[in-house]
Amino acid sequence: MINEDIKNLTLEQKVDRSISLLKKIVNKKTKEVLFDDALWRCNVLRGLGASAFVMFNCENHKTERVRHLVKWTTRKCLYWKVPFIEYSKLRHS
């Protein structure tokens, strides 16, 4: 049984197994899906009145959209006044 196998693992083995599983899932997603997920989380936090902080995976190339998202979340006057879609349009005009 899978549950019995997991019970017998050390904490380090459980963490390694979990990280391995997460890597498989993330590698199947496209960068566009990952960006959309990050933007959704930022918007949820903004809607709840909480600041967002975008953590970027250094193993991946930082796209222009990701750079804009990072700038938007770190410039709090923009983050609270302008939705990302409007901010992104301003950046491209």
The structure tokens listed for 87 are 């901010």
Q: Please, are residues 54 and 70 in contact by the beta-carbon 8 Å criterion?
A: yes
Q: What is the mean pLDDT of residues 19-37?
A: 71
**Cα–Cα distance between 93 and 82 in angstroms, integer?**
15
Residue 34 predicted with pLDDT over 60: yes
**Cα–Cα distance between 63 and 84 in angstroms, integer?**
16
pLDDT at position 4: 58
User: Domain range for residue 81?
Assistant: 2-92
Structural domain count of the chain = 1
Percent of the chain with pLDDT over 90: 34
Residue 7 predicted with pLDDT over 50: yes
pLDDT at position 47: 92
